[in-house]
Chain A
């Protein structure tokens, strides 16, 4: 029972933050609302016993991604965005989003899903062991991807060069 209350709390935080991200006019506020939403998601991970993912969520999203977005906003003064924040097709976008939600929700409700968390999920130790044995090659590929993205970002954002 108490876990359900906590779930609704974290879910309200997540969805409220998400609505803030797509609704606010201020881009810095949007980045901060994103942080709220992502911390709500971390709470949900904790509720389904994925504590390693909750830690990763707080570290990577809260500690890295939102900070990088805020740095980029500071460097470009993008918060002084002129004109309307939505493009003319926003009513269509709203219809598409609501319709997609209706379809997915109907599909979820009609599907027979297994109920109940039966046991604690795997701990950090099991995930770490699996990541470095069974999933070692995808792990290495992911690190190469990060390296390539890092070099690419430096090359693209470097001062000077051709316009």
Chain B
């Protein structure tokens, strides 16, 4: 039988793998993919709590739908920014994107 602990440990593992990806990768596209993993970890947690704690209610599922909506908007905008960066700078390596630093 699945318990909430299973789901939450899975969610924590997914979140930490995504965190490693965000911190360690150099390409902006790969960082974006790792952020998607982290958002999915949050969704797994929300669905688990909705299924095990909140019997009969479905607030967790509704909030997960909104998280997915925001993730879709975020991916669209981020890819547009990456496209623009590639066109202007010839690279999406986040180590080299230091024009706003001094």
Contacts and interface: CB of A to CB of B under 8 A. Distances in A.
Contact of A18 (B17, B68, B92): B17
The secondary structure that dominates the B interface is helix
Q: Which of the four size classes fits the interface of chain B?
A: 35 or more
B21 A22 contact: yes
Interface in A131-156: 131, 135, 138, 142, 145-146, 148-150, 152-154, 156
B99 interface: no
A45 B40 CA distance: 11
Contact of A38 (B40, B72, B79): B40
Interface of A: 1, 3-4, 7, 11, 14-15, 18-19, 21-22, 27, 30-31, 34, 37-38, 41, 44-45, 47-50, 52-53, 56-57, 60-61, 64-65, 68-69, 72-73, 75-76, 78, 81, 83-87, 89-90, 92-94, 96-98, 100-101, 104-105, 108-109, 113-119, 121-122, 126-127, 130-131, 135, 138, 142, 145-146, 148-150, 152-154, 156-157, 163
